[in-house]
Amino acid sequence: MEEIIFPNQIRMHRKLHGMPMQELADHLGVSLSAVSKIEKGYRRLNQEQLIQVAELLDCSLKDLYVNEQNSQQDVVQAWKREQERRCKINQNAGLKTLGAGLRHIRTDKGLTLIEVAENADMTLSVYHRIEMGQREVSDKEYRNIAKALSMPLDKLKSAIQKLDDDGQLEDIIEHNDTRYKLLNNARYSNMSNSAVDADSIMIPVYGVGNADGNILLNKGGNLKEISCPIQLQHKPDIYAVNLCTRRLGSLLSNRSVLIIDPNEIVSAGDIALFYINEEETKLLSIREDENGQLYGLRWNPDERINFTNSDLTKIHKVVIINL
């Protein structure tokens, strides 16, 4: 069964612009088949690709997500029916028991989601859905997971069966069901595309705007916090910033929160903070000139910022955008 993982309104916005599918494929550098899967929700877009699509279609990122506030009701209802259908299939297939058993064993071994996902040759989101009991597992994937847990496959299956027989998985299944409902509701109300674990750590949110459209990092003031996305919980230096400037236009909602990883290397197509000093930054769209040199761009008014080699250490990459 092919799994819908990213409900979106890309096709609707593309058709409103009278744009052929090939133009979108060329813009993203992918095949027509890939674009078809993206528009149907069978293939996920990364953050850079989402921004490229929003720029091409002249809309905000939140306009690309299916949500109850501004999506057509038949689209929303179709997505909800698909969610209900998958839940029934998963329950009948025993996937909740499998996911709960994997989580129990992983936790008992002191392993993180990221460690198991990487060692099983999976993306974090795919393995996370397996533990949530929301995704089927192929024989090859099952073998890879067993290897990542340092267990023979038959012993892993036996261990999960014993945990189920002993009634040790009921609390985890209940927890997963509750968490799945929360994530499913958040997909409509907040349009957030980052998986967050119920027991995740909190990270601080900085940022107030100034008259020049720069962002002042109010690190000494009263701060709010947000849950740290699962895929970033192993990174101690991440932080978040309020989108309190309009110098990137209306691409992002003014309620957005930008999650920053200062240790990630930036490249063309990224959004990043450029530090003027320890307390003041510029939010930039990173571009590349004909000589392969990176520079920063922002608007309202237009401003290009050229970087020197020493400036690259002052650039902190935006890795996730919470809308």
Beta bridge partners of 227: 202
CA end-to-end span of the chain:
30
Does the pLDDT value for residue 184 go beyond 60? no
User: What's 280's domain CATH number?
Assistant: 2.10.109.10
The confidence score (pLDDT) of residue 194 equals 39
DSSP 8-state code for residue 318: E
Does residue 218 form part of some domain?
A: yes
d(CA 138, CA 5): 17
Q: Which of 52, 60, 50, 58 is nearest to 18 (CA)?
A: 58
| Backbone phi, psi, residue 20, to 5° | -70, 155
Q: Which of 204, 238, 235 is nearest to 222 (CA)?
A: 204
The CB density around residue 240, as the number of other CB atoms within 10 Å, is 22
pLDDT tens, position by position, 26-65: 999 988 888 888 887 777 777 778 888 988 998 887 788 7
**Same domain, yes or no, for 256 and 230?**
yes
**Same domain, yes or no, for 207 and 286?**
yes
User: What's 179's domain CATH number?
Assistant: 1.10.260.40
Boundary residue ending a domain (189, 216, 251): 189
The confidence score (pLDDT) of residue 276 equals 92
Mean pLDDT of the chain: 79
Q: Three-class SS of residue 214?
A: coil
pLDDT > 90: what percent of the chain?
22
Tell me which residue has tokens 């200062």. Answer: 262
DSSP string, 166-192: TT-SHHHHHHHHHHHHHHHHHHHHT--
Does residue 207 form part of some domain?
A: yes
**Same domain, yes or no, for 182 and 215?**
no
**Same domain, yes or no, for 263 and 312?**
yes
Side chain identity at residue 140, one-letter code: K
Does the pLDDT value for residue 187 go beyond 50? no
β-pairing, 271-275 with 208-209?
unpaired
**Same domain, yes or no, for 154 and 209?**
no
Band (pLDDT 50/70/90 cuts) for residue 99 is: confident
Boundary residue ending a domain (159, 189, 219): 189
**Same domain, yes or no, for 215 and 168?**
no
Band (pLDDT 50/70/90 cuts) for residue 251 is: low
Enumerate helices (H) and strands (E) in the chain, giving the number of each. 11, 11
Does residue 257 form part of some domain?
A: yes
Does residue 184 form part of some domain?
A: yes
Boundary residue ending a domain (189, 215, 231): 189
**Same domain, yes or no, for 175 and 276?**
no
Prediction pTM value: 0.46
User: Whole domain around residue 143: which residue ranges?
Assistant: 89-189
**Same domain, yes or no, for 173 and 222?**
no
**Same domain, yes or no, for 212 and 312?**
yes
Does residue 233 form part of some domain?
A: yes
The confidence score (pLDDT) of residue 128 equals 81
d(CA 125, CA 41): 15
Does residue 82 form part of some domain?
A: no
Does the pLDDT value for residue 182 go beyond 70? no
**Same domain, yes or no, for 152 and 101?**
yes
**Same domain, yes or no, for 283 and 223?**
yes
* 307 Cβ contact list (under 8 Å, min separation 6): 274, 293, 294, 295, 296, 315
Work out the angle at residue 245's Cα, subtended by the Cα atoms of residues 17 and 213, and round it to the nearest 5 degrees.
Answer: 120
Beta bridge partners of 321: 258
The CB density around residue 59, as the number of other CB atoms within 10 Å, is 18
Does residue 69 form part of some domain?
A: no
Q: Regarding predicted confidence, which is higher, 199 or 151?
A: 151
Q: Regarding predicted confidence, which is higher, 273 or 226?
A: 273
The confidence score (pLDDT) of residue 124 equals 76
**Same domain, yes or no, for 233 and 181?**
no
Does residue 244 form part of some domain?
A: yes
Helix (H) or strand (E) holding 28: helix 21-28
> How many structural domains is the chain composed of?
2
The confidence score (pLDDT) of residue 76 equals 63
Q: Three-class SS of residue 27?
A: helix
